[in-house]
């Protein structure tokens, strides 16, 4: 029972980050499930089933607040569904012992990617012009959906950061559109896991706990998307992902406990340094734009 309560809290925090940042629900939840000893396929399956509910509520909340570009959602939906189905089938057929470090490596890469995309902005604010086309969105949806199922997360890191870096859609529309289209991706991944694992291979208690926490947080996150400092949350979430999955990979490689601990300490210091840097850059960007100074509490 205690584990389910903890997972409910994990779902709440993950959805707060995901709904306001456009990423990190699947990656964060899967990372913590793997750390708790859950098999990769079972962890990703639980996350995807919970995401059906959380993404539905999140999408409705974003739509109500005008945060969704429906043209973008309609183009992303089909390739995202197909990619998630393929990824779920591939992951379900992997040996758990082999899959765990592979999944951890994918999550580690995504975490580094998240940190990089937000820290590289420096004190600049990106300019967003036009709308993304089919040639850009379709491959992105296929890749994002596949990584999402295999890694238990990836739709947000790939989709949100790609759209933001393209400069073709304003940030709130990026977050709202990615969160809304994630419903279709979650359905595709869930169907793949059902067919590959069967209902007995899925821990429905874990999925329900994550769902409960995520549903509570989804409307709040949609409202907060206009107020939270996205770059600070991005660095914070990415750092957690890197720190946790580095441990999994080092242990799989047979690194002694002392080596794992030292590496974790170095990464923790780098993580905190990155967050401090992100706060400073956000303050610089706000000062340049003549906006109110960033409060640490809002980050």
Task: Give pLDDT tens digits for 131-180.
Answer: 778 888 999 889 888 877 776 667 777 777 677 667 677 777 888 888 88
Distances (CA, A) of 233 to 34, 88, 150, 181: 22, 28, 24, 21
pLDDT-based confidence at residue 82 (cuts at 50, 70, 90):
very high
Placement of tokens 């990155």 in the chain: 274
pLDDT-based confidence at residue 200 (cuts at 50, 70, 90):
low
Least confident of 26-30, 112-116, 118-122: 118-122
Give me 192's structure tokens: 């793949």
pLDDT at res. 24? 67
Dist CA 91 CA 241 (whole Å): 20
155 by Cβ neighbours in 10 Å (0-12 / 13-18 / 19+) ranks as buried
Least confident of 28-32, 92-96, 277-281: 92-96
Contact between 175 and 65 (Cβ < 8 Å): no
DSSP 8-state symbol, 228: S
Query: Could you tell me which residue, 197 or 183, shows the higher pLDDT?
Result: 183
Task: Work out the mean pLDDT of the chain and round it to a whole number.
Answer: 77
pLDDT-based confidence at residue 199 (cuts at 50, 70, 90):
low
Has this prediction a pTM greater than 0.85? no
Placement of tokens 């992902």 in the chain: 241
pLDDT-based confidence at residue 286 (cuts at 50, 70, 90):
confident
95 by Cβ neighbours in 10 Å (0-12 / 13-18 / 19+) ranks as exposed
For the chain, the 3-state helix, strand and coil shares in percent, each to the nearest 5, are 80, 0, 20
Q: Is the pLDDT of residue 288 over 90?
A: no
Give me 67's structure tokens: 């945060």
Angle at 60 between CA 54 and CA 66, to 5 degrees: 130
Mean pLDDT of 95-112: 72
pLDDT at res. 192? 83
pLDDT-based confidence at residue 73 (cuts at 50, 70, 90):
very high
Query: Could you tell me which residue, 98 or 139, shows the higher pLDDT?
Result: 139
């Amino acid at each position: 029972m205690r584990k389910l309560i903890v997972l409910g809290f994990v779902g709440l925090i993950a959805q707060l980050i995901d709904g306001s940042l456009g990423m990190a629900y699947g990656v964060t939840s899967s990372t913590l499930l793997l750390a708790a000893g859950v098999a990769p396929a079972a962890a990703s399956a639980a996350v995807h089933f919970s995401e059906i509910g959380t993404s539905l509520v999140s999408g409705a909340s974003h739509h109500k607040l005008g945060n969704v570009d429906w043209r973008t959602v309609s183009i992303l939906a089909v390739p995202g569904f197909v990619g998630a189905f393929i990824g779920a089938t591939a992951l379900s057929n992997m040996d758990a012992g082999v899959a765990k470090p592979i999944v951890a490596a994918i999550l580690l890469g995504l975490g580094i990617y998240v940190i990089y995309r937000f820290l590289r902005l420096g004190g600049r604010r990106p300019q967003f012009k036009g709308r993304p086309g089919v040639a850009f969105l379709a491959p992105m949806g296929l890749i994002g959906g596949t990584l999402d199922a295999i890694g238990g997360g990836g739709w947000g890191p790939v989709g949100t950061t790609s759209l933001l870096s393209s400069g073709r859609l304003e940030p709130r529309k990026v977050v709202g559109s990615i969160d809304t289209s994630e419903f279709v991706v979650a359905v595709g991944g869930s169907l793949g896991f059902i067919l590959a694992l069967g209902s007995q291979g899925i821990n429905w208690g874990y999925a329900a706990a994550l769902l409960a926490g995520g549903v509570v947080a989804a409307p709040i996150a949609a409202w907060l998307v206009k107020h939270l400092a996205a770059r600070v949350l991005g660095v914070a979430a990415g750092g957690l992902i890197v720190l946790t999955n580095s441990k999994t990979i080092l242990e799989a490689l047979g690194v002694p406990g002392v080596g794992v601990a030292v590496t974790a300490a170095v990464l923790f210091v780098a993580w905190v340094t990155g967050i401090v840097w992100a706060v400073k850059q956000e303050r610089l960007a706000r000062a340049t734009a003549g906006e109110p100074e960033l409060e640490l509490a809002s980050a």
